[in-house]
Every structure is written in C-alpha cells, then in structure tokens.
Structure 1
Amino acid sequence: MNAQCDARDGGVLVNWIEVNNNVQPATETPTGRSSCMYPGEVPEAPIAGAPAAEEAPIVITLEEFQKRPVLAATIISQPLNFGLRNAHSNIYAEAQEQEFTFEFQDATIVLKARPVTYQWDYGDGTTATTTTPGGPVEGDAFDTRTPTSHQYAQTGDFDLTLTTYFAGDYSVDGGPFQPVAGEAAVVSAPHLMSIWRTKGHSVSENCIENPAGIGCEAPTR
C-alpha cells in the first residue's frame, strides 16, 4: 500500500485497471499502478507506459535468522570429561551445516546456516576463539596438543561452555542466495571437565604383591 495514503485522513487507495472493450465481454487487467485519492479529487489516470512502483526486496535480518531452531554444537573431550593438571586436554566441537525452509512476507525462504567461529569458555577464567572445531586424536590423548586443546593449571571440576557463530545465506522464492548481515550465536550445553593430578614414583612391587604400596591407594586430587 502507498505509505502516503492514510485512511484516517479520508484517503482511499485506488488500484488502476486497463479495460479492453474490443472483446466481448470486455476484459479488465490490473496495471500494477495505484493512486491515493481524497474526497473531492478528480481521478487522474496514470501515464500510459509508466513503470509500476517496485516492491521493496525481502530481506532476512539477523533477528529473523536467530529465530530459526539452529542446533547447537556438541562439546566432546578426550578422554570423556577427564584431564590432567598442566597437561593438554583435547576438547573439540561437532557442529553441522543446517537448512531451513519457511514462509516470510508471502515468499518461500530457504536459509542455510554454517558454523564459522567457536568461542570457548573453559570454566577456569580463560577463553579462546577458534575458526576450527577441532577433532579427535589417536590414543588416550593425554597431553596431546591440538588447535582446540586446553591446559588446566588447577585440579577440580570445571563447566566448559561453547558459543558457536553461524553464518547464514538465504534464497527468496528460488532466487540466488545472498548473505545474512551478521552471525547467529548458538550456545551449547555446558560440558563438565574433571581435572586430576599425577605423581611419579619408582617402586619394586606391584599392587598385587603389596596392596599397601605407593600408587595402590584410592586416587586423590
């Protein structure tokens, strides 16, 4: 609707049509043009051949993007939920590209979300931002440095959190894809990290031979 046509002021939006009397019955074809008329005004027909007013393009904003149910990344630690003080604990994320189809402003939108940045909060007062989600390593992974590993300086239990930023691209009614201005932040569920310490001793007997020997007692932090 014409933004200048206000019904409160008596304005009436008139949509112009073209009548063809050369056929019977006569046909009426919308011209795509409109005028705002007020009481007492004499209608003035639009100029023949004048271009119709263009509709504003449909834009998917960051706010609309963040309304989509984008699945959060899964946090994985190796070995599971466990690490050693001052050693590299391998922590990585599993995130996936996602696609959504929905109706918006009478148009069909296809929106693709892809993870691009990972913001880590290790729960010990330190943070890091990576562009890689990381991945598993072979073996027990104790003290194996990776692009997403972390060294805890103290023992204890820490809630590690992750915010993944997704970039979006959308298509309107099957048209070309275009980027969303901004990235959607999706927070993962906290991941518990239990950090322990180790001691080294030289012994001559194993725990079967000497159940009270060094290293045979219950583990402590």
Structure 2
Amino acid sequence: MPAALCHNADFTTTKGQIGTCADGEVEGEFQVSCPEGEIALEPVFVQTWTNNPDGTISGLTGWTLLNDGDCLTAVDLAPLAEVEFQRLTIAPSPVTVQPPDGWTLVNIETITYTSPTPQTFATTLLGIPVTIEATPATYTWDYDDGTTPTQTTDPGAPYPDQSVFHTYSDEGTATITLGTTWEGRFQITGTSSWTPITGTALTTATAPPLTIYEARSRLVTDPLD
C-alpha cells in the first residue's frame, strides 16, 4: 500500500503516513534536491506489526518515512560497483592464431592476437541505473611448450603487422591459452563522468590444438616426374 506524502507548503517538513494529512499539510509528490553530480535515492517507508501465535497480527502502525532520500555520489556507489564487477560474465578475449589451419612449423613465428574491444553492461546499484565498462588491461599468452608465458599490454595484430608471436623449437602439439586481465569503470546513467572500479577481473580462452611440424630438406632425383 503506498504511503501518502504530507508536507507543508514550502516542503520544509515531509512525512509518510496512511490516511489524511494534518491541518496545514497537503499531499504531493516527494521531492529531493541534490547538488550537481549527485543523484537522489528513493525515500524508504517502514511499517511495523506483531505476529501473534494464532496467525493474526496486532499493533499495526502506519507507514513512517525512514529515509527521506539521500543524495549519493559515484564515490558512494564505488564499493557496490566493485562487487558487481566481480559478478559480471565477461566474454573471454578471442584467440586468433596464424598460420590459421591448425598447424605451424618449428623455428618460424607463430602469430597470436586478440581484440582489445571493451565490454559494457547495464545494471543497477541501490536501484540507480549504471553502466559498467570492462576494458582489457594485460594479456598473458601460454604457448604450452614449457616456456615462460608472455605477458603484454599489446593485443597483437595479424600478419604482416604482427607484434605478438612465439617460435616453437620442437615438433608436437600445443594448446595456446590466453588469460586477459580486465579493468573496470562505471557511470551513473544520465551523467558524463566515469569512476574507476578497484580490482580486476580475469578471463581465460584457449585456441584449438595446434600441431607443430619440422620442415626437413630431402634430396630427390631430378627431374621430378
């Protein structure tokens, strides 16, 4: 049941109640005025009663205005944004390998790269609509041959502009894994400023198995038939 909002003519006093407003008060829309850059929370009303053993209730009170609407800044929402950031389902960075057909050669550059595109998510914090943005910060490439993984802030690029690559020294198979560390920031809907989120998120993606061959020179009869 909604609560009536009773106030005097200049809105200097406001209360929540069920029923008729007192003399000198009128019912109207609740108003909260916040400074620029802040946003108002909705007012909170409470009602109390006692549950009796026979299933009835007693002592039912009218609705009381518990919180007349706080003004919050993005900094106030930052701890909640940090928790929400860890709950997000961030799509792992895609893994692209060149040569592209599932094989490569010993002693040549095997090129790897990914997309640095940020991801955005719409959610609410304390009922306030916000946008959270996750942006790739670092990439860790594990080439599955016992060498130390490569960590970089460079997403790489395809041939002939490759900047992230690996050279295998032995034949075999390998499954390349990419771990991406994401940084976050959030924005209250309707505002223009972004607030950084403390902490990072991690996603992991793997490429299909890669077969590594060694190219060998062979003497053959000339001419070839």
Q: What TM-score results when the alignment is normalised by the length of structure 1? A: 0.64
Indicate the percent of aligned positions where both proteins have the same amino acid: 23
Shift of 1:25: 5.2
Please point out which of 145, 148, 152 is paired with 1:130: 152
The equivalent residue for 2:139 is 118
Give aligned pairs, total: 168
2:83 matches 1:67: no
Structure 2 residue matching 1:58: 3-state secondary structure: helix
The equivalent residue for 1:11 is none
Summarize deviations over 1:44-98 as a string: whole Å, max 9, x none. xxxxxxxx97658111444421322222111111112221112221111234221
The equivalent residue for 2:25 is 26
The equivalent residue for 1:152 is 168
The equivalent residue for 1:215 is none
The equivalent residue for 1:182 is 199
Q: Is the 8 A contact 2:8 2:24 kept in 1?
A: no
Provide the C-alpha distance between the structure 2 equivalents of 1:64 and 1:98, rounded to a whole number of angstroms: 14
Q: What TM-score results when the alignment is normalised by the length of structure 2? A: 0.63
Instruction: Within 5 Å, give how 1:66-215 maps onto structure 2.
Output: 66-80=86-100, 81-126=102-147, 127-138=149-160, 146-175=162-191, 176-205=193-222, 209=225
Shift of 1:160: 1.0
C-alpha RMSD over aligned residues: 3.3
Q: Is the 8 A contact 1:102 1:109 kept in 2?
A: yes
Larger radius of gyration: 1
My pick for the range that moved more, 181-190 or 159-168, is 181-190
For structure 2, the 5+ residue unaligned runs are 1-5, 11-21, 33-68
Structure 1 residue matching 2:190: 3-state secondary structure: coil
For structure 1, the 5+ residue unaligned runs are 1-16, 33-51, 139-144, 210-221
Q: 1:199 to 1:53 in 2, by over 3 A?
A: closer
Give the residue type in structure 2 aligned to 1:26: E
Structure 2 residue matching 1:201: 3-state secondary structure: coil
